[in-house]
């Protein structure tokens, strides 16, 4: 372990930046020549209702394990503390005699409020504080409309970001870090209980994912080498492995958008469409920063009085993948088994919840928050408000995804549905996405008993669509 015992240490507070490379706060600390205390705080109190969900906690456990190994290889142990972040950080500063704290910025409203107050308190105690951008291509407050306000439409926002963008090369990982002669005490990761108690769920997540910085870099390299060229035409087909699946790595900061931006061939096939999805991530963070109540309140105020339903049985059927619509059920079962869902299917299941069932988008947001490994407050809120038609650049109220047609168009061979709804695997393609239309002989040959092996539809599409049009149409405005 390399130590510089005579210098006061600098604390690097790690949050959603669980990587060594292109980590401005860590680089700043390493270049100071002072002992570095690398700290992660598990704070279940400050975020309130947005404390980590179950799938995110699983990911965090394995990401911290990987980061701890990487830091240890540089001679700097990762210190784990649990409790209110402001209290835990100030306590560690007193214990170690640290005179400087650095972190990379977070953009959730509770994080901004906490960090602003903490920065002032630390400075009052004579501790310097520096913060950096490690998570976005452009800070939310730097991208403005011609009138100086925030953007609410994606295309001009992304155009403005690209026109002014010069992210520079990513920072290399530090080659070594000085540490204190006696590292401060910390918690054992295993004692945090982040892993699910249900072995089947943990096993499904483990089979689908490898958290950590090295895994994120491998996933990016594989995507750019194999899939990006076919991304524009293939990204809508859930059975085809043509999406990057980088979203959880981005959320936990195992890879940065600047690293992705630098790695792609900007003139290559499929790259513009792929980077546009990175732009949507930026846009959602832009919205959350300027409209901090985005996860609770509709951006479009007309939706404040919307007549959302209250049907626990229908919500449970949607959550369990038992709606009777195979493409919807396949998506919800993929989510439960793997902590992830293909983006096209996310739109289908989201539309089904808010328009077929008329259940509030916040209920879908809450379920995704608990079950997605890439649960991100900005993306989750922005995506659900878009689906519900009440957010920025939102889907129009009259756009109601037909789950049968969506399945027939984007899973015409039935590979996706047959994987995740295996009880329907024996049905022919002609009725796979609408099994209630199959004749008794076809059902019998496939071993399917509707209402027993697989449910009847919880709603009739035609009737539900009309109900949605009537209900949403009652609040439509001139710009819808």
Q: Which residues are catalytic?
A: 277, 280, 308, 343, 361, 384
Residue 412 labeled ligand binder: no
Return the HEC string of 78-102: EEEEECCHHHHHHHHHHHHCCCEEE
Neighbour order of strands in the sheet with 78-82: 78-82, 36-42, 10-14, 100-104, 128-132
Residue 245 labeled ligand binder: yes
Query: Is residue 426 a contact partner of residue 420, using CB atoms and an 8 Å limit?
Result: no
Query: Is residue 334 a contact partner of residue 444, using CB atoms and an 8 Å limit?
Result: no
Residue 244 labeled ligand binder: yes
Residue 275 labeled ligand binder: no
| Gap between the Cα atoms of 45 and 110, Å rounded | 10
Residue 243 labeled ligand binder: yes
| Gap between the Cα atoms of 135 and 133, Å rounded | 6
Q: Which residues contact 249 (CB under 8 A, 6 or more apart)?
A: 211, 215, 216, 219, 255
Q: Which residue in the block uniquely carries the two structure tokens 């290889």?
A: 73
Residue 315 labeled ligand binder: no
Residue-by-residue DSSP string for 346-400: HHHHHHIIIIIS---HHHHHHHHHHH-TT--HHHHHHHHHHHHT-STTPPPTT--
Residue 247 labeled ligand binder: yes
Residue 337 labeled ligand binder: no
Query: Is residue 436 a contact partner of residue 324, using CB atoms and an 8 Å limit?
Result: yes
Residue 398 labeled ligand binder: no
The alpha carbon of 463 is separated from its chain's Cα centroid by a whole number of angstroms, namely 33
Residue 246 labeled ligand binder: yes
> From the annotation, which residues make up the binding site for FAD?
231, 243-247, 274, 374-376
> From the annotation, which residues make up the binding site?
231, 243-247, 274, 374-376
């Amino acid at each position: 372990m390399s130590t510089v015992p005579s210098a006061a240490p600098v604390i690097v507070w790690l949050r959603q930046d669980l990587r060594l490379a292109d980590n401005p706060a860590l680089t700043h600390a390493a270049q100071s020549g002072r002992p570095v205390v690398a700290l992660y705080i598990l704070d279940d109190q400050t975020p309130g209702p947005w404390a980590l969900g179950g799938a995110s906690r699983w990911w965090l456990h394995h990401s911290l394990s990987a980061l701890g190994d990487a830091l240890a290889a540089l001679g700097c142990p990762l210190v784990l503390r649990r409790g209110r972040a402001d209290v835990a950080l100030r306590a560690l500063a007193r214990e170690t005699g640290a005179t400087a704290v650095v972190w990379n910025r977070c953009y959730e409203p509770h994080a901004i409020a906490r960090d602003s107050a903490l920065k002032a308190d630390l400075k009052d105690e004579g501790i310097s504080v520096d913060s950096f951008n490690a998570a976005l291509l452009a800070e939310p407050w730097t991208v403005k409309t011609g009138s100086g306000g925030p953007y609410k439409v994606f295309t001009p926002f992304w155009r403005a970001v690209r026109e002014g963008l010069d992210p520079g090369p990513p920072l290399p990982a530090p080659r070594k870090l000085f540490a204190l002669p006696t590292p401060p005490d910390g918690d054992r990761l295993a004692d945090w209980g982040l892993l699910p108690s249900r072995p089947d769920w943990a096993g499904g997540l483990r089979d689908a994912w490898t958290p950590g910085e090295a895994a994120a870099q491998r996933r990016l390299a594989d995507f750019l080498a194999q899939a990006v060229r076919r991304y524009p035409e293939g990204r809508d087909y859930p059975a085809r492995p043509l999406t990057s699946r980088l979203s959880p790595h981005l959320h936990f900061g195992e890879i940065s958008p600047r690293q992705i931006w630098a790695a792609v061939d900007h003139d290559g096939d499929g790259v513009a469409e792929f980077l546009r999805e990175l732009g949507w991530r930026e846009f959602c963070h832009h919205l959350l920063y300027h409209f901090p109540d985005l996860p609770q309140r509709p951006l479009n105020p007309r939706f404040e009085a919307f007549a959302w339903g209250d049907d626990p049985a229908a919500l449970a059927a949607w959550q369990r993948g038992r709606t009777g619509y195979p493409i919807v059920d396949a998506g919800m079962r993929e989510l439960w088994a793997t902590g992830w869902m293909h983006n096209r299917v996310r739109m289908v299941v989201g539309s089904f919840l808010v328009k077929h069932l008329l259940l509030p988008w916040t209920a879908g947001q809450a379920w995704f928050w608990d079950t997605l490994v890439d649960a991100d407050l900005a993306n989750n809120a922005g995506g659900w408000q878009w689906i519900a038609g009440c957010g920025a650049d939102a889907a129009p109220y009259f756009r109601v995804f037909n789950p049968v047609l969506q399945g027939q168009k984007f899973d015409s061979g039935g590979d996706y549905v047959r994987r995740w709804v295996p009880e329907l695997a024996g049905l022919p393609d002609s009725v796979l996405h609408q099994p209630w239309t199959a004749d008794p002989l076809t059902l019998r040959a496939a071993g399917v008993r509707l209402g027993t092996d697989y449910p009847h539809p919880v709603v009739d599409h035609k009737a539900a669509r009309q109900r949605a049009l009537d209900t949403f149409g009652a609040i439509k405005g001139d710009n819808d």
